Amino acid sequence: MKIIKVRTKPAYEIEIRGGLLTDLAQDLKDRGYGDRYFLITDSNVRQLMAEDLLEMLREAGLPVEILSFPAGEASKNMATVVELARKMVQAGADRRSAIVAFGGGVTGDIAGFLASIYMRGIAYIQIPTTLLAQVDSSVGGKTGVDLPEGKNLLGTFYQPRRVYIDYAVLGLLPLREIRQGLAEVVKYGMIKSQRLFKYLERHSGEIMQLEPEPLEHIIAESCRIKAWVVSKDEKEAGLRRILNFGHTLGHAFEAASAWRLPHGEAVAVGMVAAAKISEKRGLISPEITHRLENLLTSLGLPVRLALELPVSEVLTYLRSDKKARSQWPVFVLVRDIGETVFDPEVPEAMVKEVAEELGCR
Ligand SMILES: NC(=O)c1ccc[n+]([C@@H]2O[C@H](COP(=O)([O-])OP(=O)(O)OC[C@H]3O[C@@H](n4cnc5c(N)ncnc54)[C@H](O)[C@@H]3O)[C@@H](O)[C@H]2O)c1
Ligand SMILES: O=C(O)C(=O)C[C@@H](O)[C@H](O)[C@H](O)COP(=O)(O)O
Ligand SMILES: [Zn+2]
């Protein structure tokens, strides 16, 4: 078992343990986050395991209701939030009720956002069930939804009370979804840890086989890095932007694909783009980009776009990036593996050239 502390205000813990869901009910009873619990999940996770969890919690005497929405990024919008909120009001949820976000990053972002605005804020806990959510989205309190104009454009910073990571649930997760999470793990290596990057280079085979030891290692290392960054800069005044490495173009690719391109794959290609821009800005040699591309490829992640996205649309989405100043993003670049640089002056022509090299038309 590993416990990692996130030193935000208030602070909270991430508990990482294979099989922890079996004694979750007792832990929730002991900690008492709410008088009633609302288990929020998506349609897939509901069928696969949320009904079982519901039964387990009810058997232990906890008052719990379950609410779900159709699985997928296309549900990450205000309509879903409003629908869930109305169901909570109708079920009598009040300020002492607590939300349990049980699912992937889409569920965590929606449920966390709802918790932050429901009756001006109620408690929530995160129980992430995808690798991506376990290494990234359940930690740090970024919550929110998409707009047709772009990714995560509505949202809040609102920390969960606790994060419970049971990597045993990843046994049910399709390989393509495992890969989405690995993209974010590669990101942590690129921004903060040569050691993690090298570990991934050496152990990609065992990780893809979901061997518990390397799996627990990469989850814990990712959470440690994220907890450290978020503890220093909870609301993204500066340092936290490093967590957006690969996301500037990644988010634009996702939006331009009308959410057909999954987050991790978009970030994988976005990281290659950021490395190529870093090269063109004279920060790194092509060797670093090649190492990144080789690692992504060995993990089964794309290094070029599989969909033809119009470059003009991609550039339009970039202008509404949350890191933009005067409608142009501050790019997160690298000067080595593990070392980032912010660059507000990347020329548009350079971004266009790189986007085209990666498959935009
Ligand atoms: N808030 C943050 O800090 C943060 C960080 C990274 C990503 N995100 C967001 O996270 C989202 C992507 O998250 P995701 O990749 O988890 O997607 P997701 O939540 O859509 O989950 C992917 C798929 O896996 C299914 N699933 C979930 N757990 C499962 C399990 N154990 N077994 C089988 N199937 C399972 C889901 O039903 C879904 O179909 C994006 O919206 C992204 O913007 C947020
Ligand atoms: O936690 C953060 O900070 C991140 O940037 C983590 C990212 O992996 C994540 O995709 C996040 O949702 C991006 O946030 P945004 O503010 O760029 O929309
Ligand atoms: Zn991300």
Residue 180 and residue 158 share a domain? no
CATH at 282: 1.20.1090.10
CA distance 316 to 182: 28
CA 12 – CA 7 distance, rounded (Å): 7
> What is the rounded CA–CA span in Å between residue 249 and residue 272?
10
Predicted local distance difference test score (pLDDT) of residue 279? 98
Q: Are residues 219 and 165 in the same domain?
A: no
Same domain, 129 and 277: no
Token pair belonging to 56: 């387990």
pLDDT value for 352: 98
My answer on whether 124 and 241 are in the same domain is: no
Q: Which atom of ligand 2 is nearest to the CA of 109?
A: 12
For 45-52, the CB contacts below 8 A with 24+ separation are 45/71, 45/102, 45/103, 45/104, 45/107, 45/129, 48/172, 49/129, 49/169, 49/172, 50/102, 50/103
Name the 3-class secondary structure at 338: coil
The answer to whether residues 346 and 312 belong to one domain is: yes
pLDDT of residue 73: 98
323: containing domain: 175-357
177 is in an annotated binding site: no
pLDDT of 156: 98
Of 172, 188, 223, which closes a domain? 172
Q: Is 289 annotated as a binding residue?
A: no
CATH code where residue 167 lies: 3.40.50.1970
Reduced to 3 states (helix: H, G, I; strand: E, B; else coil), residue 225 is helix
Q: Give residue 166 CA to ligand 2 midpoint distance, Å.
A: 22
209 and 127 share one domain: no
Domain boundary among 157, 172, 187: 172
Residue 127, C-beta contacts closer than 8 angstroms, at least 6 positions apart: 21, 24, 100, 101, 102, 138, 163, 164, 166
**Prediction ipTM score:** 0.99
> Do strands 64-69 and 36-42 pair parallel, antiparallel, or not at all (unpaired)?
parallel
Which pTM value belongs to this model?
0.98
Whether the Cβ atoms of residue 127 and residue 41 lie closer than 8 Å to each other: no
- 76 & 185 share domain: no
Q: How many domains does the chain have?
A: 2
Q: pLDDT tens for residues 120-151?
A: 999 999 999 999 999 999 999 999 999 999 99
CA of 130 to the centre of ligand 1 (A): 6
* 211 in active site: no
Do residues 157 and 181 share a domain?
A: no
Taking the C-alpha atoms of residue 164 and residue 168, their distance in angstroms, rounded to an integer, is 12
Same domain, residue pair 180 and 161: no
Same domain (yes/no): 11, 59: yes
For residues 206 and 264, membership in a common domain is answered with yes
- Give distance in angstroms: CA of 94 to centre of ligand 3: 32
Residues of the chain short of pLDDT 50, as ranges, are none
Whether 134 and 223 map to the same domain: the answer is no
Is 107 marked as binding a ligand?
A: yes
For residue 359, the tally of other CB atoms under 10 A from its CB is 17
Of the three residues 172, 198, 231, the one that is the final residue of a domain is 172
